[in-house]
């Protein structure tokens, strides 16, 4: 029966009834909803309860027609939670017991106006800061990790980095993962290090197997060949303008 009655109403009638119901709720003198005693201020707003109360005391709250069922502390908590965690309006509805996302939007808008009127002009901006206060927020930092930064600096890339090194099968199967190595090591020195420690890897290989490397490993081609392996590496152009047919075919590997 209720479903039939609802279907007989037009969309405009339903919207009108909804708005009227909302207005009645705003005007009614209902008790203010306050923040729960177990509300985790630091987690949601980024401030401790003492800091939150201090911010609240520094603001003046004019009478706002909508959302009279929420006190000013609850409204401030909504705004600070939105700023701190960037939660959706739907999530804020659940946390602070708002009936709709539109109510949350109105709450945030009204609280922004409150902060812009009272809090920001008094406590933010260069005009509210002395030089001694500025210096107190300028710590003297003396880095002691220059040696570490030098080891991690890669001349080729022009920045600090670490290099992982992987040995893979032709189909991409990972055989071994080594590192990370500091950026000061080039590929050849890393590979030379791996040749000295990868005894288990060479147990899987026999003379005549093919090992594919890129141009950065040119310094280890001879050591690998001395072990009897066939080493494939893309050719260098050197002085030529393009590869020969044979070099191009070999480089495609």
The C-alpha atoms of residue 68 and residue 63 are separated, in whole angstroms, by: 9
Q: Which pair of structure tokens corresponds to residue 144?
A: 């002691």
pLDDT tens digits in sequence order for the chain, 253 residues long: 333 333 344 444 433 443 344 444 443 333 446 777 788 999 999 999 999 999 998 888 765 544 455 688 888 999 999 999 999 999 999 998 888 999 999 999 989 988 988 888 888 888 888 999 888 988 888 777 778 778 888 877 788 888 887 888 888 898 888 878 888 777 777 777 777 766 677 788 888 988 888 777 777 788 888 888 888 877 677 776 776 777 676 666 6
State the pLDDT at residue 201.
77
State the pLDDT at residue 44.
93
State the pLDDT at residue 1.
31
Residue from 191, 188, 224 nearest 208 by CA: 224
Degrees to nearest 5, angle at CA 145 with 140 and 150: 130
Residue 77's contacts (CB-CB under 8 Å, 6 or more residues apart) are 35, 39, 41, 44, 45, 52, 96
State the pLDDT at residue 6.
34
Strands 153-154, 159-160: pairing kind: antiparallel
| DSSP track, 113-181 | HHIIIIIHHHHSSGGG--HHHHHHT--------HHHHHHHEETTTTEE-EEEEEEE-TTS-EEEEEEEE
**C-alpha torsion sign, points 134, 55, 87, 75:** negative
State the pLDDT at residue 220.
78
Alpha helices per DSSP H over the chain: 2-8, 11-27, 41-45, 49-57, 72-85, 89-96, 101-114, 120-123, 131-136, 146-152, 187-197, 199-204, 221-226, 245-251
State the pLDDT at residue 252.
64
């Amino acid at each position: 029966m209720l479903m039939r009655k609802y279907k007989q109403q037009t969309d405009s009638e339903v919207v009108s009834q909804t708005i009227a119901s909302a207005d009645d709720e705003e005007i009614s003198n209902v008790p203010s909803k306050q923040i729960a005693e177990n509300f985790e201020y630091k987690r949601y707003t980024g401030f401790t309860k003492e800091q939150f109360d201090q911010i609240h005391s520094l603001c003046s709250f004019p009478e706002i027609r909508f959302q009279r069922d929420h006190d000013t502390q609850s409204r401030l908590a909504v705004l600070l939670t939105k700023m701190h965690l960037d939660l959706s309006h739907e999530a804020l509805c659940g946390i602070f017991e708002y009936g709709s996302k539109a109510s949350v939007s109105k709450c945030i808008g009204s609280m922004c106006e409150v902060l812009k009127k009272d809090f920001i002009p008094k406590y933010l901006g260069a005009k509210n800061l002395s030089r001694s206060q500025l210096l107190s927020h300028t710590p003297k930092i003396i880095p002691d990790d220059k040696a570490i930064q030098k080891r991690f600096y890669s001349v080729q890339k022009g920045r600090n980095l670490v290099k992982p090194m992987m040995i893979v099968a032709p189909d991409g199967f990972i055989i071994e993962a080594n590192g990370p190595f500091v950026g000061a090591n080039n590929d050849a020195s890393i590979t030379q290090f791996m040749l000295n420690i990868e005894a288990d890897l060479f147990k899987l290989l026999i003379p005549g197997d093919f090992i594919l490397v890129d141009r950065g490993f040119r310094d280890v081609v001879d050591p690998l060949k001395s072990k009897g392996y066939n080493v494939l590496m893309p050719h260098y152009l050197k002085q030529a303008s393009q590869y020969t047919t044979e070099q191009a075919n070999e480089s495609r590997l």
